[in-house]
Amino acid sequence: MMRLEDAEAFAQREGLIVVTIADLIAWRRLHDRVEARARTTLPTAFGTFDTIGYADLLTGADHVALVSPLGIPAESPLVRVHSECLTGDTFGSTRCDCGPQLAESMRRVAAEGGVVVYLRGHEGRGVGLLDKLRAYALQDQGLDTVDAQTALGLPVDDREFGAAAAILRDLGIESMRLLTNNPEKETQLRDAGLTIETVPLITDRTVNNSRYLETKRVRLGHRLGESA
């Protein structure tokens, strides 16, 4: 058993490569994290997307990649990594901007080429649907989205984007134009070795989500302009 410094010296002397356990973990997170298990097409209001269903081998969640009708351009495709939001994406809630962001992302990706990666298990910034609704109840009493989750003993944002990075790698995407206002999402994907040009994704504000957007801008660092 050699210490790392001894192994590195031996490798340099013998022309070998040293691989650490951390290196193996990082490699597996990108290459063994997800498995494509279903492929089909999905006709939508924005066009027919090639659709790939992925199993997350770490969390057990199911994720979906919607590939543009134009396919994936060889250089800098447009990419949206979208966190599941049942209330916004499905019910059309105006408390957040999730539904409009998803629709605008699908429209733009369909028109320009690229992919929308839809991550399940991210409801309420990772705390789940029921706790998200509990946090909404505290927001009704005057707390903002950050303080509401903190008051419930919940993390402010418990999402991680390793599955998204693995899906993008599986699709052959290493460099992209990323539709996001969230610097943490961008940082995590960059840390996974992806090359990113950030493209803002600003949607219309409503009476019901203006405070939410301002909280994201001021307290979570989202790039939403000078005032939400």
Instruction: Say if residue 59 carries a ligand binding annotation.
Output: no
6 belongs to the catalytic site: no
| Annotated binding residue 98 | yes
| 211 assigned ligand-binding residue | no
185 is in an annotated binding site: yes
131 catalytic per annotation: no
Is 101 within any annotated ligand binding site?
yes
145 marked ligand binding residue: yes
Residue 181 structure tokens: 């206002």
Of 33, 108, 159, 177, catalytic: 159
Residue 60 corresponds to which tokens in the numbers above?
């057990």
96 among annotated binding-site residues? yes
Bridge partners (DSSP) listed for residue 197: 177
CB 149 within 8 A of CB 135: yes
Residue 129: both structure tokens together: 């649907």
Q: Which of 56, 97, 144, 157 is catalytic?
A: 157
Question: Residue 214 burial (CB < 10 Å; 0-12/13-18/19+)?
Answer: middle
Antiparallel, parallel or unpaired: β 47-56 and 78-83 = unpaired
Closest by Cα among 83, 64, 81 to 176 = 81
88 is in an annotated binding site: no
13: annotated binding-site residue?
Answer: no
Q: Which helix (H) or strand (E) holds 101?
A: helix 98-112
Known binding residues for GTP are: 80-84, 101, 123-125, 145, 180, 185
Q: Which residues are annotated as a binding site for Zn(2+)?
A: 85, 96, 98
Binding-site members are 80-85, 96, 98, 101, 123-125, 145, 180, 185
Q: Which residues are catalytic?
A: 157, 159
